[in-house]
Structure 1
Amino acid sequence: MNFTWRSLWFALMIVSLMMMGTACGSSMGDGAQSGEITVGGKDFTEQHLLTKITSIYLKEKGYKVKEAGSMGSSVARSALENGQIDMYWEYTGTALMVFLKEPAETDPAAAFKKVKKLDAENDLVWLEQAELNNTYTILMRQDQAEKLNIRSLSDLAAYVKKNPKALRFATNAEFYSRQDGMKGLEKKYGFQFPTNRVKKMDSGILYNALKEKQVDVSVGFATDGRIKGFNLVSLEDDQKFFPVYHAAPVIRKDVLSKNKKIEGLLNDLARRLTTENMMELNYKVDVDHQNETKVAREWLVSEKLIQK
């Protein structure tokens, strides 16, 4: 009889401990009971920073996080669709035109609405889009733009039409050949750079070529830190030619359903990221050569999202 009562007592103790463990688990952070979150990213400075910002923030909020950065754009998308990563930051223009095979869109709200709806069919959830818009931009040295009184693409078009041999234009091969690149730009604004005034070069040296006065005008990306670092100026796209490339966190539907609090956290990040502050962060890495992790953490602290 004593053995039976002892056995029953031990059994009750085990059940009680299990119930206590379950209760403790339910009070833990959302990430603590939902497994590991794999944060992906593409292979350029801005994406490295977005990956670091997201990973550090989620870790501070109790999630187990694995980073999977430095992927090509198509690889990142495939990894998300195949479940190799759980989320990454994508650009509306890239998703719309490259992955969803839709026409370019210059209206931010329309582009976001379309990608959100179409990707819902792929079980991918677009959370809030940031003000951050890493679209194409046309650049000049600030002093030269001021001297020639060129502030917008319409100003540039008018100047080139009157002075076709005066300016040299730098472009990478992709922008030169795309309809939403140079060909479309010239058609939209009604001008054309003479072929012998166009210099094609790798994307990485466009900014330096402009800075060193090897060229006078160049294509670039709106959030690149070298715009600030090299005293360049983005000409206003006053006729709204370039598609929008607003960044937003994109997460798999099944991951979001298991980690409901993550939506609010990622949306909070998105609301704070602008074209201007992203350019500043890129500048710190590309021009000041600061460590990406350090820059990401300092920004999170400055936004009071995490403690120092």
Structure 2
Amino acid sequence: MKISFSRTLAAGAIRLLSIAAVALSVMATSATVQAATLTIGGKNFTEQLILSEMTAQYLRSKGYDVELKNGLGSVVMRQGMESNQLDVVWEYTGTSLIVYNKVTEKLDPQQTYERVKELDGKIGLVWLNPAALNNTYAFAMPGKMAREEGIETVSQLIEKFRANPDMQFAFDMEFVGRSDGLDPMEQLYDFHLERRNIKQMDPGLVYTALKNEQIDAGLVYTSDGRNKGFDLKVLADDKGFFPAYAATPVVRKEVLDANPKLADELNALSAKINDENMRDMNAKVDIDHRAVSRVASDFLKQEGLVQ
């Protein structure tokens, strides 16, 4: 009986130790996958809505707790990063170079990236690997109008304007006042628009106005699917005014330090994005009227980034 009792005690102790070991293992595993809370910011146009939504879904699949704040203006989003209210955003190299860092020197795409990486790094904002996506600005005309008049370049558009000073141009709300916007472009191309020539509107409405030939020319994004879908003629920037705008994930340094895998995870995402598939996603939202969340989800699954 004594032997049996001892064996019982031993067996019970082993069971208790096993249970404790399992509990500790579960706790350790839970601690490993415990999600950091990340706040992702996005701007107020289709491409940014897609990129921010895509990033939120992707990082949630990696175990992070994510809060999404999109629909922001460029300056507001930048302020959010500098004040630690946002952790991860997709930013464009040209925007940081000219608007935030006030650099007016003409740089090639790689120089632009290296410069903003250096300058923003000084304030704790880390530029990761850029996507193969250059969403720069361009002037566009209704395709039929451009073909009839043989207009291929911005210089040719300006010549037409000089002969027809009542032409109407449409811009988004930011471009007219930006340091990389209308004023320096007027100086380079040697023209001037009066107030009566300018219509300021939401970027989406610029496309609608061009499609309906309600304006003569408007500011568009080169990666927007509506350029092709609405038969718009994107004019060559023959004097090289617009800088490179490579879309890149930007993260606060302290957030990267606290989440050692985050940089590699975001670089894996940016490696899958390019001009062609971004135009396709933009068109699905703007022309086919698909939900941003669905377009983002489909892309992540298609590229094998989520299950």
TM-score, structure 1 as length reference:
0.82
Write the mapping of 1:271-286 to structure 2, written as runs, cut at 5 A: 271-286=271-286
* CA distance in structure 2 between the partners assigned to 1:172 and 1:297 by the alignment: 28
- Report what 2:75 is aligned to: 74
Which stretches in structure 1 are left out of the alignment for 5+ residues?
none
* CA distance in structure 2 between the partners assigned to 1:103 and 1:144 by the alignment: 34
Partner of 1:68, secondary structure, is: strand
Write the mapping of 1:1-308 to structure 2, written as runs, cut at 5 A: 16=21, 20-21=25-26, 24=29, 28=32, 32-103=33-104, 105-160=106-161, 163-165=163-165, 167-172=167-172, 174-176=174-176, 178=178, 180-190=180-190, 192=191, 195=194, 198-204=197-203, 205-307=205-307
1:123 Cα deviation after fit: 1.6
1:14 Cα deviation after fit: 8.6
* CA distance in structure 2 between the partners assigned to 1:83 and 1:173 by the alignment: 26
- Aligned residue pairs total 296
Taking structure 1 as reference, are residues 20 and 272 closer, same or farther at Cα in structure 2, changes over 3 Å only?
closer
Taking structure 1 as reference, are residues 183 and 99 closer, same or farther at Cα in structure 2, changes over 3 Å only?
closer
Coordinate RMSD, CA, aligned = 3.1
Higher mean Cα deviation, 163-172 or 79-88?
Answer: 163-172
* CA distance in structure 1 between the partners assigned to 2:65 and 2:53 by the alignment: 14
* CA distance in structure 1 between the partners assigned to 2:208 and 2:278 by the alignment: 20
* CA distance in structure 2 between the partners assigned to 1:100 and 1:49 by the alignment: 26
Which stretches in structure 2 are left out of the alignment for 5+ residues?
1-5
* CA distance in structure 2 between the partners assigned to 1:84 and 1:176 by the alignment: 28
1:170 Cα deviation after fit: 3.0
Amino acid at match of 2:225: G
Higher mean Cα deviation, 99-108 or 130-139?
Answer: 99-108
* CA distance in structure 1 between the partners assigned to 2:92 and 2:69 by the alignment: 18
* CA distance in structure 2 between the partners assigned to 1:69 and 1:170 by the alignment: 24
Taking structure 1 as reference, are residues 160 and 104 closer, same or farther at Cα in structure 2, changes over 3 Å only?
same
**Mapped contact 1:38–1:85 kept (Cα < 8 A):** yes
Taking structure 1 as reference, are residues 172 and 71 closer, same or farther at Cα in structure 2, changes over 3 Å only?
closer
* CA distance in structure 2 between the partners assigned to 1:80 and 1:173 by the alignment: 22
Taking structure 1 as reference, are residues 174 and 84 closer, same or farther at Cα in structure 2, changes over 3 Å only?
closer
TM-score, structure 2 as length reference:
0.82
* CA distance in structure 2 between the partners assigned to 1:260 and 1:51 by the alignment: 21
Taking structure 1 as reference, are residues 23 and 297 closer, same or farther at Cα in structure 2, changes over 3 Å only?
same
Partner of 1:260, secondary structure, is: coil
* CA distance in structure 2 between the partners assigned to 1:194 and 1:253 by the alignment: 43
* Percentage of identical aligned residues: 39
